[in-house]
Structure 1
Amino acid sequence: MAKPPAPKSADTGERIAKVLAHAGVASRREAERMIEDGRVSLNGKVLTTPAVKVGPGDDVRVDGKPIAEKPPTRLWRHHKPDGLVTTHADPQGRETVFQALPKDMGRVISIGRLDLTSEGLLLLTNDGELARVLELPSTGWTRRYRVRAYGDITEEAIQKLKNGITVEGVKYGPIEVVVDRRTGSNTWLNVGLKEGKNREVRKVLSAVGLTVNRLLRTAYGPFQLGALEKGKTEEIRRSVLREQLGKLYPLDADGYPLKDGGKAADNTGRAVSRPAKPRPAKPHSTKPRGSNPGKRPDNKARKPDAHHRRKP
């Protein structure tokens, strides 16, 4: 991208971390860390703070390479097996979820995480801003799990979790727990929660005397694991994605985010005007002919006589 002819006002454009997130470089939080590490430059100047805005034509680079133009928002369902970490690079050298993904997906990030021994539905996207929105508890989407745990749970403990619980100084919101069945010394549970804090299911169940030995996420909001095979990835159709996101994260027909009440975002994430929709033609009047003053009354359609018929 070419450099702009003149500096822009600090009141225009989008925050740099948001631009990087929209471009699929990283989540907004990770983008801020990249800026702090001196990996991001704007118009040739290395940034030291995320409190910078970007406008059209600005040259944004990460590790010296220009960021790609913003692609349409995409979302995938992935059935994560246990034994993989949900990170792009693991300091301990363990295999990651992203190493096993199809190469033609490009760079994607996860919406939330599943720890090493957890399995099930993991949502992946190329839009870091969408990931941020869907991770927020205020979004109201429920994460559902099938849990096998050693021990038994009482109705008192279930009610305690339903009202919210504090564990080691961390307050957790209401958690829905339904006992499915008991097999020997294990109990199978269906668990639903809206926050998704770090290792939340394991910690809250441990606080009421249960030890989780298998954890499978079956749903994240409206998106279900279903019959997706372990290790497989499937893209969610654009029409389904638009329908399920609705006003939470509106997309246009091409999959680009809509901002500011129905405006499409350009490659920097700024809102741009959308073409005006053509006005529908006015319906024909149902008023009988001859009802207007000055018009010759004629309530019957005139039939062409033989004199006016065209000869074959």
Structure 2
Amino acid sequence: MAEPIRLAKRVAALAQCSRREAELFIEGGWVRVDGVVVEEPQSRVAEQQNVVIDPHAVAEDAQPVTLLLHKPVGMGYDEAQRLLTPANHAAEAGTSGGASPRILKRHFAKLAPMLDMPAQASGLAVYSQDFRIVRKLTEDALLIEQELVVEVSGTIRDGGMALLANGLAYRGWRLPPAKVSWQSETRLRFAIKGMDPALVPWMCEEVGLRPLSMKRLRLGRVPLAGLPLGQWRYLPADARF
């Protein structure tokens, strides 16, 4: 019986293509071995195994992706990253930017967590492989507006809204102006720039309110927009932070 050979070599022979093209077919998720997608060109296959190349296969490098996650309460950014699996992918019907990318194993590797928020908060979390997104969210971190909703209890002190908007100092540092408004009797909306979201609960306490929960709804022009808790979707190609 012949020794198993590299899958890339088998695919190159089947497709009558170069070894590099065969590797791209495999890495792109276009090749099945005995009915199962295999994405590792170095995998070895026996002569009797059935190798099938998708008729729509294209030999091109996979583009880097950015994933948007609805982070649950109680999970830090690193811990929440474990939710980025194919099983937790949310349906993307109705989103802009064309068809969603095909889910590949490589989409979950080398993801950089961007614009951290407290473990006690829920809402929009961003993880990216795209150096352009990573650079944007790193270099312009202080310029990107974050929209948060905070559930509170208690009674706000006199002049409290003005203090929240442009009057508090944290450890001698004057906080940047914020847009603050009531969404209901127990819910405050914050739109902030240039500060850590972790300061928002402290801001509430400074004006006599007890923060009960916090949720990030938007980063720049990218919204949470109905993403189910604990699930993720791809950042649309035409989306801009």
Give the TM-score band, short-chain normalised.
Answer: 0.5 to 0.7
Give percent identity, aligned residues only.
19
Q: Distance in 2 between matches of 1:201 and 1:137?
A: 20
1:225 corresponds to = 224
Instruction: Give, as a single letter, the amino acid of the residue that structure 2 aligns with 1:102.
Output: T
Q: 1:155 to 1:227 in 2, by over 3 A?
A: farther
Q: Distance in 2 between matches of 1:224 and 1:175?
A: 19
Q: 1:208 to 1:236 in 2, by over 3 A?
A: same
Cα offset, 1:144, TM superposition = 0.4
Q: Which has the higher contact order (CA 8 A, sep 6+)?
A: 2
1:184-263 to 2 correspondence within 5 Å? 187-197=186-196, 199-238=198-237, 240-241=238-239, 244=240
RMSD value over aligned CA atoms? 2.4
Q: Distance in 1 between matches of 2:115 and 2:216?
A: 12
Among candidates 46, 69, 76, match of residue 85 of structure 1: 76
Larger radius of gyration: 1
Q: Distance in 2 between matches of 1:158 and 1:203?
A: 14
Q: Distance in 1 between matches of 2:109 and 2:129?
A: 8
Cα offset, 1:128, TM superposition = 5.5
Q: Distance in 2 between matches of 1:152 and 1:129?
A: 44
Q: Distance in 1 between matches of 2:119 and 2:160?
A: 27
1:101 corresponds to = 84
Cα offset, 1:117, TM superposition = 1.3
Among candidates 152, 165, 168, match of residue 168 of structure 2: 165
Cα offset, 1:124, TM superposition = 1.5
Mark the runs of 5 or more structure 1 residues left unpaired by the alignment. Answer: 1-69, 88-95, 246-312
2:65 corresponds to = 74
Name the SS for the 1:173 alignment partner: coil
1:1-312 to 2 correspondence within 5 Å? 72-87=63-78, 96-102=79-85, 104=105, 105-127=108-130, 130-136=133-139, 140-154=143-157, 156-182=159-185, 187-197=186-196, 199-238=198-237, 240-241=238-239, 244=240
Cα offset, 1:204, TM superposition = 1.5
Contact 1:164 1:175 in 2 (8 A): no
Q: Distance in 2 between matches of 1:150 and 1:119?
A: 18
Q: Distance in 1 between matches of 2:141 and 2:76?
A: 26
Contact 2:71 2:124 in 1 (8 A): yes
Contact 1:112 1:196 in 2 (8 A): no
Name the SS for the 1:97 alignment partner: helix
Cα offset, 1:120, TM superposition = 0.6
Cα offset, 1:174, TM superposition = 0.7
1:289 corresponds to = none
Cα offset, 1:218, TM superposition = 0.5
Q: 1:233 to 1:179 in 2, by over 3 A?
A: same
Mark the runs of 5 or more structure 2 residues left unpaired by the alignment. Answer: 1-60, 87-104
2:26 corresponds to = none
Contact 1:111 1:131 in 2 (8 A): yes
Q: Distance in 2 between matches of 1:123 and 1:155?
A: 37
Point out the structure with the larger helix share.
2
- The normalised TM-score by structure 1 is 0.47
